[in-house]
A and B are shown apart, each in its own frame.
Chain A
Amino acid sequence: MQFRHISFEKQTGATELFPIDGATVSKALAKVGVIVKYDPERNDQQKMLKLFGYLKNYRKQAILGPLGKLLEAVFELIVPIIIKRMIDIGIPAGDKPYIMKMGALLVLMGVLGLASSLTAQYFAAKAAVGFGTELRTALFKHINTLSHSEIDAAGSATLVTRMTVDINAAQTGVNMLLRLFLRAPFIVIGAVIAALTISVKLTLIFLVFTPVMWAVIYNVTKKTVPMYKGIQKKLDNTTLITGENISGVRVIRAFSRQRDERERFSGSLDELNGLQLKAGRASAIMSPATYILVNLAVMLIIFFGAKMVRSGELMTGDIVALISLMTQVLLSLIRLAELILSLTKAQASSLRILEVFAMQPSVTEGAEMLDFDKNAPAVEFRNVSFRYVDSERCALENISFAANRGETVGIIGGTGCGKSTLINLIPRFYDVSGGEVLVGGKNVRECTHESLRGKIGIVPQKAVLFKGTVRDNMKWRCPEATDIRIKRALAVAQADFVFDKNGGLDLVIEQGGKNLSGGQRQRLTIARALVGRPDILILDDSASALDLATDANLRKAIAANTEGMTVFIVSQRVSSIRGADKIIVLDDGHIAGIGTHSELLEGCAVYREICRSQLDREVRGNV
């Protein structure tokens, strides 16, 4: 954790200079990426190094892993030398015991190799998994600090992918890096050293051919990787056309455009085929080319080796050993190229993870506890304006109103008029762009999140429940809530149905509440908010899945059981808010009127229009 702090200091610094949100920061970072375009790869790699900080607590394992691999490589490289001794010493002398001794040594090398390899695998797994675990914890905590603006900018689905798929990929990358990536260089260097012990002159062949082979492998890989990316893109396009043709089948046939669609698809296939053949041609060269190179080296070893044998500088076994070492070098290089390919995937994931870390919460927590002033209005908006970060228009403008303790406030208006935006400002999910929001007499900016949000019960539009029992879900706000308290909340929320089902409070809710109907879920989310006995209850269009009768009973029960509680009801239905003490009519981000139902019918044209259209709407909803 400490490391994270240090490594992100630079980016925090950037936010201090320009007090902006995460999305802007990542855009800015992207711009920086453009500026240092001359070597973006190096920039990426430097950024990636930061993630290695999460290996800190596994430093020992991260060193022992590759060390084991090094030992294994050493034992593997000794094998050709032993064979050489068999051929050069054992065979000419006809010394059978010597050969048996060397054979035993071969077996010993195998055993030692196995042992060091197992050690390496164990520590590498330990380090990589430790890395993944710490990274996951850190990212989860970090996401928890983000505010709604950043969540909007990134998208929840994206954050979930970062937490799961990307971290797994990064973990696999580290594991491979520790286990395999270092093995290849060890073998190459070790083979050169082993060759040196045999013949300095012939080692020159190694020194020439190793870089040449690597150049071939590296260049072919470098050339083909973008080609394969292009193929994937084309394939995605093919998928897209297929999907469109299935979902749009009626429109396509209504306009009789099947033939054009077939041509469009066929064209996409031809392009795909062209790219595949091109990439195939480019990558087909690698294996034959390296084969020729390694065997050219072998021929040179034999040719010059033969001369050296004649002059007595070398023995037959030396040549056999050198050939075998050369082959090992090639195999390692190919393995290395494959690994680089897989590591680029891990690199892409790491960068995506870093993007999330680079996001900083735009809403910074206040320091004071909210002490609800019973005499002040429960909620007061003073000339509030609000603009979403990515939007040029104000979503809310010049909003002023006060909701007193115990009042029921209805908020009505068309889609996109700013209803949800308005109530999101009360728990300070977003910071206002102008004016101020007061809760219990205090500016929400001054309060700690927990003390502010603890006073507010929210029932969001989308009725989300979590996996677990009904009781678990009901205790979200208030972990110490008793069964009696929960039952009372369920009764008010018209959610007694849980007692008709098996289990009652122990009824297990599946992920996403799949085993309940939309209306049942909605009532449970209302109960969940009520259990916390909030001072302010916000129902954000949360009765949409309820039939009219249940909706009416619910409002009646809330009114009867929530003395002193300020209730906000956001709705599109006039019937849901008609009885409110105060109705706020929103029209395109402005307040079009505030008052009771009859006052508004009298004096607010927008409200009248809504009421008139409702007659039609009610019919539409059910006819």
Chain B
Amino acid sequence: MSDKSSTLRGLMKYFKPCRTQLAAALVFAAVNVAATLYAPILTGRAVDMIAEMIKNGGTADGLMPALAAFAVTVLVTAVSQYVMQLCLNKVTFGALRDLRRDAFDNLSRLPLSYIDSHPKGDLISRLISDVEQISDGLILGFAQLFTGVVTIIGTLAFMLSINVKIALIVVFLTPVSLFAARYISRNTFKFFREQTSVRGDLTAFVEEMTGNQKLVKAFAHEQAAEDEFAALNSKLQKTSVKAIFFSSLTNPTTRFVNGLVYAAVGIVGALSVIGGGFSVGQLSCFLTYANQYTKPFNEISGVITELQGALACAKRVLDLISETPESDDSACAEITHADGTLTAEHVCFSYNKDVPLIEDFDLRVKPGQRIAIVGPTGCGKTTFINLLMRFYDVDSGRIMLCGHELTKTKRDSVRGVYGMVLQETWLKTGTVRENIAYGKPDATLEEIISAAKRAHCDSFIRKLENGYDTVLGEDGGMLSAGQKQLLCIARVMLSLPPMLILDEATSSIDTRTEILIQEAFAEMMRGRTSFIIAHRLSTIKSADRILVMNSGKIIEQGTHAELMDKNGFYAGLYNSQYDNG
């Protein structure tokens, strides 16, 4: 409960900028309901005047003023509704935007540990669909709830003020339709579940067969698949007819109950008119109320479940917004002279306190040295990059980069020292040009082309539809894996910082492109301190230092000769591979 109220409190903040509109929306909603409910009374009165006129003959002098009052009421209803809607839009869409903006702002400041430990889909859905749910469920739901309650109270008050007896008929009979609707939906649930399960089977089957259509053809399995499909399909047909039919019972049943209420009001009302003390106009007014009275009930019961769902969504969004960001580094030092040295002293690090990973790690890198990182897939090369780039901070010990202790240096400054090319190529949607200039947005076209040439991608870029202005779709669009890799190299080539982090893995790339990438790498590394996630024997052998990693830990380090002499893990790995080759 306190959880909910703190969520609500957190949300309130987002309505504050538009609190005038919110207040206005509530006021106009109330006005709107009142005017809507008042209109039938006025028409009823007009009808009574006409009836009076018949009885007494003569003219209906009161009719024109009554109609004028009616016109005013109608106008008030329409205007208040319009204004209410506009205010509500302003509040809703504004809160929506602010929530998303804050969530995204914080996301871009959160430590990588948070982003690494949350699935991408989960984070996206918090920013997109959860926020959407808040606007649909919470804000519009609240508006509906509010008008619903006001309508119910208003209708009750008007009805009671006109005729208590008939009002009670409406009050007690109307909810019957609610119970009927609930009864039906509870009983159709079973059919729906059945339909969902059969439909799931069919979808799974289609996914298997149509998704692997080529295999079906390779095995000439078409007829068998069609037979099995037909069986599933006719099963689905049977359950679907039931589910659809029974679920469609709600509306007619509600209408039927409403019809009964209507008939009851008609009979009792007409009898009351004969009995005196009740007029035809009042009867017509009551008939209108009887028709309107169920609607808010149906809406409210729908809104309440939505509200609860929306509150859960709001909590997820607010949690993301209030997550602690990376520590403030504005007071930290900046690297002014990047000399390409790096030392690690007694570094300890682990993602999870219970599972120690890197313990008491030392490393001394001189300017221009090449450090090869070697180990089986999933050995923890990202851990190493995470520490170098200050994506994660060490638990103890210290890493000195160009004479600065990493944890006391601005993150941007640390990261600016490195050029990084990872195996997972990442390109943003935008032009080729924007992508190459990602690290240096003010680069001139000449600089960009020159970088592209050195990265061997100028020629394929020129063959693209619009050359450097070709817009790449999501994740590089139609480019091949190798081309994407080359673009990432060009991106680094443009500003070419004094130190490099390179990933040699090029598994999905054809030989020719692979050679180009190797050449580009060699060009970049000239005279620069480089950390290479190495896969080629030649790179490993020629490295100044080899770090051997296994299951997240750095288990050995040294030159090729030293490690072979040591006859440990590396030597074992090397020998076994050599035999196989």
Collect the chain A residues with CB atoms within 8 Å of residue B420's CB. Answer: 250-251, 254
Complex: chain A residue closest to B420, CB-CB: A254
Residue of A nearest to B100 (CB): A269
Complex: how many Å from CA A299 to CA B203? 55
What mask results when residues 234 to 269 of chain A are scored 1 for a CB within 8 Å of chain B, else 0? 010011101111111111111111101110011001
Name A618's contact: one of B105, B208, B280, B581 (CB within 8 Å).
Answer: B581
Tell me the minimal C-beta distance from B181 to chain A in angstroms. 14
A163 to B203, CA, bound (A): 8
Contact B78 A251 (CB under 8 A): no
The answer to whether B415 touches A256 (Cβ under 8 A) is yes
B218 touches A137 (CB 8 A): no
B89 touches A160 (CB 8 A): no
* B389-A250 in contact (CB<8A): yes
Residue from A130, A157, A245, A620 in contact with B237 in the complex, judged by beta carbons closer than 8 Å:
A130
Residues of A near B264 (CB, < 8 A) are 103
Interface, chain A (partner B; CB < 8 A): 72, 79, 82-83, 86-87, 90-91, 94, 96, 99-100, 102-103, 106-107, 109-111, 113-114, 117-118, 121-122, 124-126, 128-130, 132-133, 136-137, 140-141, 143-144, 146-148, 151, 156-157, 159-160, 163-164, 168, 175, 179, 235, 238-240, 242-258, 260-262, 265-266, 269-270, 272-273, 276-277, 280-281, 284-285, 287-289, 291-292, 295-296, 298-299, 302-303, 305-306, 309-310, 315-317, 319-320, 323-324, 327, 414-417, 427, 429, 449-450, 453-454, 456, 458, 460, 464, 466-467, 476-477, 479, 511-512, 532, 548, 609-610, 613-616, 618-620, 622-623
A32 to B482, CA, bound (A): 38
A256, B50: Cβ atoms closer than 8 Å:
no
Q: Roughly how many angstroms separate A464 CA and B288 CA in the complex, as a whole number?
A: 64
The reply to whether B415 and A248 contact each other, CB–CB distance below 8 Å, is no
A450-B220 CB under 8 A given contacts A121-B245, A256-B415: yes
A164 — nearest CB in chain B belongs to which residue?
A: B203
Q: Are A415 and B415 in contact (CB under 8 A)?
A: no
Q: Shortest Cβ distance from B426 into chain A, in angstroms?
A: 4
Judging by beta carbons under 8 Å apart, are A121 and B75 in contact? Answer: no
Check A146/B262 contact, CB under 8 A, given A253-B411, A429-B218.
no
A284 contacts B89, CB within 8 Å?
yes
Q: What's the Cα separation between A430 and B199 when bound, in Å? A: 33
Contact between B90 and A277 (Cβ–Cβ < 8 Å)? yes
Q: A110-B256, A323-B284 are in contact. Are A255 and B439 (CB under 8 A)?
A: yes
CB distance from A305 to the nearest CB of B (A): 7
Interface residues of B in 251-283 (CB under 8 A from A): 251-253, 255-256, 259-260, 262-264, 266-267, 270-271, 273-274, 280, 283
In the complex, what distance in Å separates the CA atom of A45 from the CA atom of B115? Answer: 48
Q: B109 touching A303 by the CB < 8 A rule?
A: no
Could you mark each residue 441-469 of chain B with 1 if its beta carbon is under 8 Å from any beta carbon of chain A, else 0?
Answer: 10000000000000000000000000000
Check B82 against A288 for contact (C-beta < 8 Å): yes
Interface residues of B in 217-237 (CB under 8 A from A): 217-222, 224-226, 229-230, 233-234, 236-237
Given A246-B123, A619-B535, CB of A476 within 8 Å of CB of B219: yes
B216 at the interface (CB under 8 A from A): yes
Tell which of A79, A133, A141, A320 touches B259, judged by Cβ atoms closer than 8 Å. Answer: A79
Known: A243-B120, A243-B124, A257-B438. A320 touches B213 (CB 8 A): no
- Cross-chain contact A129 with B241 (CB below 8 angstroms): yes
Which one of B89, B376, B510 lies within 8 Å of A416 (CB-CB)? B510
Option from B54, B115, B255, B376 in Cβ contact (under 8 Å) with A309: B54
B47 contacts A320, CB within 8 Å? yes
Chain B residues closer than 8 Å to A270, beta-carbon distance: 97
- Asked if B107 contacts A273 (CB within 8 A), the reply is no
Total count of chain B residues near the partner, CB < 8 A: 143
Q: Known contacts being A159-B213, A262-B105, is A288 close to B78, with CB within 8 Å? A: yes
CB-CB < 8 A to A296: which residues of B? 74
A143 and B229 CA atoms in complex are apart in Å by 13
Contact A248 B67 (CB under 8 A): no
Q: 3 tightest A-B contacts by CB?
A: A110-B259, A103-B267, A288-B78
Interchain CB contact under 8 A, A615 and B508:
no
* Residue of B with least CB distance to A235: B128
Q: Is the CB of B71 within 8 A of A299?
A: yes
Query: Which residues from 86 to 143 on chain B have a C-beta closer than 8 Å to any C-beta of chain A?
Result: 86, 89-90, 93-94, 96-97, 100-101, 104-105, 107-109, 112, 115, 120, 123-124, 127-128, 132
Known: A256-B416, A265-B100, A302-B70. 14 other contacts (CB 8 A): A86-B266, A113-B259, A124-B248, A125-B241, A130-B237, A140-B233, A148-B217, A244-B428, A247-B424, A280-B89, A288-B79, A288-B82, A449-B217, A618-B580
Whether B219 lies near A453 (C-beta < 8 A) is yes
The reply to whether A299 and B287 form a contact with Cβ atoms under 8 Å apart is no
Q: How far is the CA of A258 from the CA of B206 in the complex (A)?
A: 43
Q: A159-B213, A243-B120, A449-B220 are in contact. Are A623 and B241 (CB under 8 A)?
A: no
Binding site for A on B (CB under 8 A): 39, 43, 46-47, 49-51, 53-54, 59-60, 63, 67, 70-71, 74-75, 77-79, 81-82, 85-86, 89-90, 93-94, 96-97, 100-101, 104-105, 107-109, 112, 115, 120, 123-124, 127-128, 132, 199, 202-222, 224-226, 229-230, 233-234, 236-237, 240-241, 244-245, 248-249, 251-253, 255-256, 259-260, 262-264, 266-267, 270-271, 273-274, 280, 283-284, 287-288, 374-376, 385, 389, 391, 411-412, 415-416, 418, 420, 422, 424, 426, 428-429, 438-439, 441, 474-475, 504-505, 508-512, 535-538, 540, 573-574, 576-577, 580-581
Output the residue of B219, B245, B274, B438 with the most chain A CB within 10 A. Answer: B219
Tell whether, in the assembled complex, residue A254 and residue B418 are in contact, meaning their CB atoms are under 8 Å apart: yes
A392 to B574, CA, bound (A): 45
CB distance from A217 to the nearest CB of B (A): 15
Residue of B nearest to A305 (CB): B50
Q: Is the CB of B429 within 8 A of A244?
A: yes
Q: Specify which of A106, A156, A254, A467 lies most central, judged by the most chain B CB atoms within 10 Å of its CB.
A: A254
B429 touches A240 (CB 8 A): yes
B248→A121 contact, CB < 8 A = yes
Whole-angstrom distance between the Cβ of B401 and the nearest chain A Cβ: 14
A106-B266, A280-B86 known; A151 vs B214 contact (CB < 8 Å): yes
Say whether B280 contacts A320, CB under 8 Å.
yes
A618 — which chain B residues lie within 8 A by C-beta? Answer: 577, 580-581
B274 contacts across to A, CB distance below 8 A: 90-91, 94, 96, 99
A61 to chain B, nearest CB (A): 10
B412–A143 touching, CB < 8 Å: no
Contact at A160–B124, with CB atoms within 8 Å? no
Distance in Å: Cβ of A267 to nearest Cβ of chain B: 10
Query: Considering residues B39, B43, B123, which has the most beta carbons from chain A within 10 angstroms of its beta carbon?
Result: B43
Q: For the complex, what is the distance from the CA of A122 to the CA of B109, rounded to whole Å?
A: 57
**B248/A280 in contact, CB under 8 A:** no
Give Cα A96 to B204, complex, Å.
65
Task: Tell me the bound Cα distance from A69 to B257 in angstroms.
Answer: 18
Known: A87-B280, A117-B252, A250-B391. A141 touches B226 (CB 8 A): yes
In Å, the complex CA distance between A306 and B245 comes to 46
Contact B415 A255 (CB under 8 A): yes
In the bound complex, what is the Cα–Cα distance between A277 and B319 (angstroms)?
27
Q: CB < 8 Å: which of B207, B244, B418 contacts A125?
A: B244
B536 and A113 within 8 A (CB): no
Contact B93 A121 (CB under 8 A): no
Q: Establish whether residues A157 and B252, one from each chain, have CB atoms under 8 Å apart when the complex forms.
A: no
A251/B422 in contact, CB under 8 A:
yes
Chain B residues with CB below 8 A from A548, complex form: 580
Query: Is the CB–CB distance between A249 and B82 below 8 Å?
Result: no
In the complex the two chains form, is B511's CB within 8 Å of A319's CB? no
B245 CB, nearest partner CB in chain A, Å: 4
Which residues on the A side are within 8 Å of B267 (C-beta)? 99-100, 102-103, 106
Nearest B residue to A309 by beta-carbon distance? B50
Contact (Cβ within 8 A) A247 B120: yes
Chain B residues within 8 Å of A175, by CB: 244
* Residues on B with beta carbons closer than 8 Å to the beta carbon of A243: 120, 124, 474
B contact residues around A417 at 8 Å (CB)? 510
A156 touches B78 (CB 8 A): no
